Structure 1
Amino acid sequence: MPVRRTLRVVRRYWRVVVRWFRQYSAPARRAWRRSLQLRVVALTLVASSLLVGTFGWFIADRSADILLSRTKDEVSSSMSGKVEYAYKQLSVHPAARDPELPNTIAGTVNELFDGDPADDGGSVISIRAADYPDLGAVTLPLDVDTQQLITPEMVQAVAGSGSVAQQIRTAEIKGQTIKFLVYGSPVRTKFGHLELYYMVPLTTEDRTANQIRTTVLATGIALVFLLGVVAGLVTRLVVNPVRVAARTAQRLSAGLLDQRMKVDGEDDLALLAAAFNQMAANLQRQIVRLEEMSRLQRRFTSDVSHELRTPLTTVRMAADLIFSERESFEPAVARSAELLQAELDRFEDLLTDLLEISRFDAGFAALDAEHTDLVPIVQRVTERLGGLAERAGVELDLRLPETPVIAEVDPRRVERVLRNLVGNAIEHAEHKPVVVTMVTDEAAVAITVRDHGIGLKPGEERLVFNRFWRADPSRARQTGGTGLGLSISVEDARLHGGWLEAWGAPGEGAQFRLTLPVRAGDRLVAAPLPLIPRDRPAITGEPAEVS
């Protein structure tokens, strides 16, 4: 249990640390994602730091090795002379018990000593007689403890093996920590051999090596800084035109078609700016031409619709008169009068829809929003289409909330959308039930119309909202629609700030979902009802919203 409790505490603190890191590093991560110049400069600094650091370390290390090697050569040469001098002085004594031998050793050490080890370049000289303990050791300066410098291993190498040895040791001399290069060599005499130890401080070499490291470090830092500045300037030269192009493109997309980039020079960036300006000019011409064509088309549609009203009114009066007297006609003529009346009704509906579409295209459509209970609207639509559903052999199944669903909508437009959706569902239901469902939450109201008829093929869930589009043009129609109902419905939904979406599968029917915000002007985030029916497994993903 204590282990589990500890793990839980660790995980909790780890989550806190991660959350804290994400919170405070968010601006830096956002700047890293958005700034190409920052990424280039940062990567340049990292790469140059690694390269300069590697080469700087190599140069400093090689310089220190060269200084130490030169010092070793000098000490080795000096050591040879000192050994030769000591040999000449000590070889006059035939035996180690010669009473003058200690004086000769002391005089030799005094002659070989060349300074104070506390000073730069000072050294330590020591002559020892490992094989003759009575002679002891003579060292100058006298206050230097050579036990820190001359190790037993070195004594064994020089006295026991009779070979020249060297090592680097650090000792405390007069309160200062000094690094020494220690050389040891045997001095052969007539009675045997003594050991001569020459200890040279490496203070000057260390100081020089540190100066080289400091110089290399300062030079490296300055070089990395200069590389960062150069990378920033060079990147700025490239990124600035790209940023200008991006801002110009944003202005163009916002409708400011006269925006252009400034062309300076004849380099690649100038060529990019010139090509961008040429593209913008071509787009402006095409957009202006298309807008003019669209304006003419909308005006033509509106004018034709209005102009057709007058003759249609005259034809309607004559048709109504003929239709009212059809029972006195022969059967064939009576049937023609009924067909004429039906087609005139459809023609009037088409003109009405065309006028409505022209208002949407011209941007003149307005939303008369008011707080409305949507439940009676759905009930009223299904009641009015009840006769059509009965003739088609379709049962209408309403699944509505028991309490009022109040939303700020235009009731006329919502009723028109539902009338189109339910009418289309009845037409394509294939004598199967049509289910109308309404669900609401705090932000949105969703109404779905589900049929179990022929369904939609893949990709047709978007095409159904195109003007005059039909899934099967050869299919007999019962509602006499104009082909503009769903196009007007989707515009009505957009005018509310809502969505109108479709789902369908061959042989599984279709479902249309109308989603409206509860408060006018609110932005929709999600719908309270799924687009794919719950009675059908979700095999494919939900289609994109038509908004």
Structure 2
Amino acid sequence: MTPLPTLGLRTRLLLAFALLCVVITAAVAGGSYVMSRNAILKATQDAAVHTMTSRLETLYPLRSSTPGRAELAEIARTVTVPNTVAVAVFHGRHSPDGLDPELIPPELRQAVAGGELAWQRVRWGDEPVLIMGTPLMIVERNRDQRLSGIEVYTARSLRAEQRSVDWLATSAWLTGAAALAFAVVLASLATRGVLRPVRELGRAARLLGEGDLRARVAVRGSDELADVAHTFNNTAAELERHVKQLREMEADARRFVADVSHELRTPLAALTAVADVLDEEAAELPEPAGRAARLVSQETINLTALVNDLIEISRFDSGVAALAPNEVDVAELVHATLRVRGWSERVETELPADVTARLDPRRVDVVLANLVGNALRHGEPPVSVRLSADPQWIAVEVRDHGPGLDEAVLPHVFDRFYKASAARARSEGSGLGLAIARENARLHGGDLTVANAQDGGAVFTLRLPRWAPDPEGGAA
């Protein structure tokens, strides 16, 4: 299921402001509407009741306790005012014309019959109507009152009041809409003020992550966002200071290694000459001395290789390493690397003919020798070298069929001085071979990668452009 896209902070703030405004506007408008509606209807109702009762008072004392239709009609006319209709009812008889008794709600008639002045709002079609009813009382000589049995009902149209209520509702919603628009404008201005420093912090953090350690943010005001900006600037300044110190230490270390490596070349040359003599004479020396002579010769070779590796790494670090490209047959280059080192019989090859590329043969030879040598020493047979090419790139894949590399080792294979097993002997290498191999690949504009094959074994892939960059900086 595809997750829903996350709304931006600005959008969320605007929605929160808008929702808050809608809730408040709806509550205020709704409350105002209900209060105004009830006030209008109550005023109309009270006025109608007052008018009805004051007109009925003119009928007292009643001329007859058993009125006929004429007397009922006169009673109905007495309470009839503009915009109303009326009816007088007595024991099933009612005044002619006027209000139809059938339209009077039964519960209202029951309340009036019980001696109450009552009213009820109803709708006739689409017209709201207020129906009021009251009984007429007979006052005895002793001032006691009793029901006369005469009931008077009036119906008053509330259309005018309904129009007033509708106008109030429309006004309330229009006011709410205007308030919502105003709130959105205010929210937009407020979020702009809040989000500006947030965006600046995001931009500065992005620049800091990309390596610009001088990135800072402007501090405005003294609120919480200003505190965050102060904290960010202090953190960035401290980070810049520490990184500068680390870079200086790294530069000093590399310079020291380069200086020591170069200083060792002269004594190593003399030591190598002596070691060669000892190696030639080792067979004629007594066994303890001969073994020691051979050990000195081998360790001198190892030390020379280490110094040469250190010098090569220092060239990459100082940026003086350069290519000497030539157009070569890649298959022939691979065969030559294997043949010179005596590996041709131990390595299976799949090398298509006529694959040419403009490369630095010496540097590619160094890479291939390192990869194949590692596969033969640390992997298991068969070791294979496979070449593939397209119009722009060549790829040389070196694979063994051993257990492969541990997943924790893979990210560090090309690190300097890294060895997969700390138990390896010193003679097995300096830990710089793969680092130098990758630097040589990148100097060509390519790369060197490693992975484990699904059926076992490590697979190193050297990928190079068919036309290496020109030493002058252009494409060859």
**TM-score computed with the length of structure 2 as normaliser:** 0.76
Structure 2 CA distance for aligned equivalents of residues 44 and 285 of structure 1: 43
1:270-298 Cα offsets, whole Å, 9 max, x none, are 33333332222222222222222222222
Q: Given residue 485 of structure 1, which amino acid in structure 2 is its aligned partner? A: G
SS of the residue corresponding to residue 467 of structure 1 reads: coil
Query: Structure 1 residues 444, 196: closer, same or farther in 2, change over 3 A?
Result: farther
Q: How big is the shift at 1:485?
A: 0.6
RMSD over aligned Cα, in angstroms? 4.5
Alignment of 1:9-48 (within 5 A): 33=7, 35-48=8-21
Pick one of 100, 107, 121 that aligns with 1:168. 121
Contact 2:73 2:96 in 1 (8 A): no
Deviation at 1:428, TM superposition (A): 1.5
1:357 alignment counterpart: 313
Identify if the C-alpha distance between structure 1 residues 424 and 509 changes in structure 2 by more than 3 Å, giving closer, same or farther: farther
**Within 2, Cα distance between the matches of 1:411 and 1:128?**
123
In the superposition, relative to structure 1, how do residues 410 and 240 fare at CA in structure 2: closer, same or farther (>3 Å)?
farther
1:487 pairs, out of 420, 426, 435, with 435
2-side partners of 1:305 and 1:371: how far apart? 33
Question: Displacement of 1:107 after TM fit?
Answer: 4.8
Q: Does 1:113 align with 2:80?
A: yes
How far did residue 511 of structure 1 move? 0.9
Which residue matches 1:422? 372
Q: Distance in 2 between matches of 1:66 and 1:367?
A: 95
For residues 82-108 of structure 1, what are the alpha-carbon distances to aligned partners after superposition, in whole Å with 9 as ceiling and x for unaligned?
44545756x448552xxxx53x55554
For residue 58 of structure 1, report the CA deviation from its aligned partner.
3.8
Query: How high is the sequence identity, in percent, across the aligned residues?
Result: 31
Aligned match of 2:96: 137
Contact 1:159 1:186 in 2 (8 A): no
Aligned to 2:255: 299
Q: How far apart in 2 are the matches of 1:358 and 1:161?
A: 112
Distance of 2:151 and 2:359 partners within structure 1: 110
In 2: Cα distance, 1:448 partner to 1:244 partner: 47
* One of 124, 128, 132 as aligned partner of 1:179: 128
Going from structure 1 to structure 2, the CA distance change for 1:275 and 1:132 (only over 3 Å counts) comes to closer
Shift of 1:423: 1.1
Read off the aligned partner of 2:369 and give its amino acid letter. Answer: R
Q: What residue number does 2:143 align with?
A: none
SS in 2 for 1:465: coil
1:454–1:179 distance in 2 versus 1, CA, 3 Å? closer
2:474 is aligned to none
Q: Deviations over 1:387-407 (max 9, x none)?
A: 4x97xxxx5344x36576677
Which residue is 1:221 aligned to?
177
* C-alpha distance in 2 between matches for 1:236 and 1:440: 55
TM-score by length of 1: 0.67
- Provide the secondary structure at the position in 2 that maps to 1:513: strand
Name the CA shift for 1:504/1:94 in 2 (closer, same or farther; >3 Å): closer
Deviation of residue 493 (structure 1)?
4.3
Alignment partner, residue 158 of structure 2: 202
CA distance in structure 1 between the aligned counterparts of 2:214 and 2:353, rounded to whole angstroms: 55
| Cα displacement string for residues 206-234 of structure 1 (whole angstroms, at most 9, x for unaligned residues) | 24433433343344334444444444444
Instruction: Determine the structure 1 residue equivalent to 2:382.
Output: 433
In structure 1, what is the Cα distance between the partners aligned to 2:181 and 2:372? Answer: 71
Counterpart in the other structure of 2:413:
464
* 1:50 counterpart = 2:23: yes
Question: Is residue 128–residue 138 contact of structure 1 (8 Å, CA) maintained in 2?
Answer: no
Task: Classify 1:303/1:70 alpha carbon distance in 2 versus 1 (closer, same or farther; 3 Å).
Answer: same
Change over 3 Å in CA distance of 1:367–1:86 after alignment to 2:
farther
Query: 1:492 Cα shift?
Result: 3.5
1:275 corresponds to 2:231 = yes
What is the aligned partner in structure 1 of residue 142 from structure 2?
Answer: none
CA distance in 2 between counterparts of 1:198 and 1:370 reads 115
Secondary structure class of the residue paired with 2:81 = coil
Structure 2 residues not aligned, in runs of 5+: 139-145, 469-476
1:227-283 deviation line (CA, Å, top 9, x unaligned): 444444444444333322332333344444344333344443333333332222222
SS in 1 for 2:416: coil
Match of 2:472 in 1: none
Q: Deviations over 1:1-50 (max 9, x none)?
A: xxxxxxxxxxxxxxxxx9xxx9xxx9xx5xx64x4233222223224323
Quote the Cα distance in structure 2 between the aligned partners of 1:80 and 1:244: 76
SS at match of 1:137: coil
User: Which residue pairs with 1:15 in the alignment?
Assistant: none
Helix, strand or coil at the partner of 1:486: helix
Change in Cα spacing, 1:68 to 1:418, as seen in structure 2 (3 Å) is farther
Q: 2-side partners of 1:376 and 1:196: how far apart?
A: 123
The answer on whether the counterparts of 1:451 and 1:510 sit within 8 Å (CA) in structure 2 is: yes
